[in-house]
């Protein structure tokens, strides 16, 4: 079993489509990105997240609003959405975590290394 952690704090349990391991395309689909980064997590887990979160063209004004980005909702209205993922950042291994100024932004997949092809 793996967890998908969203910036708003929601955690969803997910499984690979084949029941054993995630493909690159699957991880990208869950996270909503095209380039992933893998980092060491706590308790032998790994963290998979968006390598180029701030480089994406669909995120506007992230530097202006601090911990939020401006995105369009289903009605086309601009809304502020949190991007800093506190829960996922706290899942990083202590030597990599928030006290070293490393943070995770956007969605994050937390799983066992054996679940990644």
Distance of CA 42 to the CA centre of its chain: 16
111 burial level (CB within 10 Å; 0-12, 13-18, 19+): buried
Distance CA 8, CA 10 (A): 6
Per-residue confidence (pLDDT) for residue 31, from 0 to 100: 94
Band (24; pLDDT cuts 50, 70, 90): very high
The more confident residue out of 42 and 60 is 42
SS3 4: strand
For the chain, the domains span 2-54+84-115
Go through the chain and tell me how many residues it has.
Answer: 117
Per-residue confidence (pLDDT) for residue 64, from 0 to 100: 45
For the stretch 64-79, pLDDT in tens is 445 566 677 888 887 7
């Amino acid at each position: 079993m793996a967890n998908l952690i969203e910036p708003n704090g929601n955690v969803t349990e997910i499984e690979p489509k084949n029941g054993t391991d995630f493909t690159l395309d699957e991880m990208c689909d869950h996270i909503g990105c095209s380039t992933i980064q893998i980092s060491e997590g706590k308790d032998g887990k790994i963290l998979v997240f968006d390598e180029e979160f701030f480089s994406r063209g669909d995120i506007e004004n992230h530097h202006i609003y601090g911990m939020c980005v401006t995105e369009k909702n289903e009605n086309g209205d601009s809304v502020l959405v949190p991007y800093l993922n506190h829960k996922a950042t706290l899942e990083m291994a202590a030597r990599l975590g928030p006290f070293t100024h490393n943070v995770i932004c956007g969605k994050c997949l937390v799983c066992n290394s054996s679940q990644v092809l």
